[in-house]
Amino acid sequence: MEILKFSKSHLDFQERLKTFMDREVVPNIETWEKEKKVPKSVWKKMGENKFLCPSLPAEYGGIGGDFLHSVIVIKELARTNHNGLAAFIHSDIVVPYIESYGSVDLKQKYLPLCVSGDMITAVAMTEPDAGSDLAAMTTTAVEKGDHVVINGAKTFISNGVNCDLAVLAAKDPKEKNPHKAVSLYLVESKTPRFKKGEPLEKMGWKSQDTAELFFNDCMIPKQNRLGKKGAGFKMLMAKLQQERLVCVVSAVFFCENMLEWTIGYLKEKKRGKKLAIHSQAARFALVEMATQAKMARVFMEKLVSEHMKKKDVIIETSMGKYYTTDLVKRTSLRCLELIGDYGSLEECPIARTFRDTRVMSIFAGTNEIMKEIIARFTLS
């Protein structure tokens, strides 16, 4: 029933990445979770091995791959059962803004550094009082001559501490139409009056350096604007399909990983005189979860296939995003219930997955927003 076809080149890429993860990432995860950040040196190694921005062409240092390479990266990152090394946010969510909307000079300046791991990126949209409703943002960008002055704050920014370059969404305060007021700008972390907060204390994603960003009369060159002034909202909407598809892919792989681990555990765990896997209640629960995960996997692969053909699958991706991110939460809870007392210990990997997957139904647009999008397109 597999829809996606992986070439030998894809499989070789996956094998190299798997080896890299086992050697450079997995042994260090517990340390990173305590330190609340993944060292930049690991990002650099990812870049040296061509695991960052694989879809970028050779002229920018990429391997000229396709979205299947991104699917492989998401899969192998999910296999490590941690979210600190959020390479897919950098490669598949942030960098595409630069590739699609940046000037020739901006592409030549920044894209090779994004591929090499010398420059980690973040997208700065969310604000303390503006999450899914991007039109409500209050961060301002006032263009003065050859420069732009930025004031405001962003929060819940993934890669916020490590980022060297932020794709910032800000509004022209003089424009009354909120959808025509937003523009996107590239802001380097070394820019004066651009400050980063400490990593936020979160329930999950412990080693992901999520932070607040502050701009106080921060001045950047006008040429750092992506595309035309006032086109930012359309740009954000155009890129949300891939961002939400990344969520779908990640959620499906986390479901599969949890099921694999739980089945293995129940095959060895005794309950009374028999193995836990022989309990009818456990078997039925596992079959139900496996069925739901398989159906989600087929739908995910179909979405990826359609996306790679550049088809408009906004409705279907919204469906996939809300369904799979709800599913991964239900699966983690059900697995913990089957595992029993051991599931309450930090050493149980499903305990981390349970915490980390809580937020998946919130970012990239809440699942309530997904349902509203679907309703607008299908019920109006």
Check residue 111 and give its pLDDT: 98
Same domain, yes or no: 213 and 348: no
Task: State pTM to two decimals.
Answer: 0.95
Greater confidence (86 vs 272) lies with 86
pLDDT tens-digit map of 92-135: 999 999 999 999 999 999 999 999 999 999 999 999 887 777 77
Check residue 135 and give its pLDDT: 75
Check residue 179 and give its pLDDT: 86
Per-residue pLDDT at 1 exceeds 80? no
Find out whether 157 and 124 touch, Cβ atoms under 8 Å.
Answer: yes
| CATH at 239 | 1.20.140.10
Task: Evaluate the CA torsion angle 266, 270, 271, 273 in order and state its sign.
Answer: positive
| CATH at 98 | 1.10.540.10
Mean pLDDT throughout 269-297?
A: 95
* Residues recognised as catalytic: 243
Number of domains in the chain: 3
| CATH at 126 | 2.40.110.10
Q: Please name which of 138, 348, 208, 320 lies closest in space to residue 264, comparing C-alpha atoms.
A: 348
pLDDT tens-digit map of 154-193: 999 999 999 999 999 999 999 989 889 999 999 999 999 9
Number of H helices, E strands in the chain: 13, 10
Q: For residue 31, which amino acid is it?
A: T
Check residue 178 and give its pLDDT: 85
Same domain, yes or no: 164 and 251: no
Check residue 273 and give its pLDDT: 83
Which domain, by its residues, includes 261?
A: 234-378
* DSSP line for 197-219: -PPP--SS-TTS--EEEEEEEEE
Check residue 201 and give its pLDDT: 93
What is the pLDDT confidence band of residue 2, given thresholds at 50, 70 and 90? confident
Share of the chain above pLDDT 90, in %: 92
Q: Please name which of 164, 176, 175, 182 lies closest in space to residue 225, comparing C-alpha atoms.
A: 182
Same domain, yes or no: 110 and 145: no
pLDDT tens-digit map of 323-369: 999 999 999 999 999 999 999 999 999 999 999 999 999 989 899 99
Check residue 146 and give its pLDDT: 94
| Mean predicted lDDT score pLDDT of the chain | 95
Check residue 309 and give its pLDDT: 96
Q: What is the DSSP letter of 182?
A: E
Q: Burial letters for 216-252: b for 16+ Cβ neighbours within 10 Å, e otherwise?
A: eebebeeebbbbebbbbbebbeebbbbbbbbbbbbbb
Identify the three-state secondary structure at position 337. Answer: helix
Share of the chain above pLDDT 70, in %: 100
Same domain, yes or no: 211 and 249: no
Compute how many other C-beta atoms are within 10 angstroms of the C-beta atom of residue 377: 11
Same domain, yes or no: 247 and 112: no
- Out of 191, 210, 230, a domain closes at 230
Helices (H), 141-197: 178-181
How far does the chain reach from its first CA to its final CA, in angstroms? 34
Check residue 94 and give its pLDDT: 97
Same domain, yes or no: 263 and 374: yes
Check residue 270 and give its pLDDT: 86
Per-residue pLDDT at 202 exceeds 80? yes
Output 347-352 pairs: Cβ under 8 A, ≥24 positions apart.
349/81, 349/261, 350/258, 350/261, 350/262, 352/33, 352/81, 352/82, 352/204
Find out whether 360 and 88 touch, Cβ atoms under 8 Å.
Answer: no
pLDDT tens-digit map of 224-264: 999 999 999 999 989 999 999 999 999 999 999 999 999 99
Same domain, yes or no: 242 and 365: yes
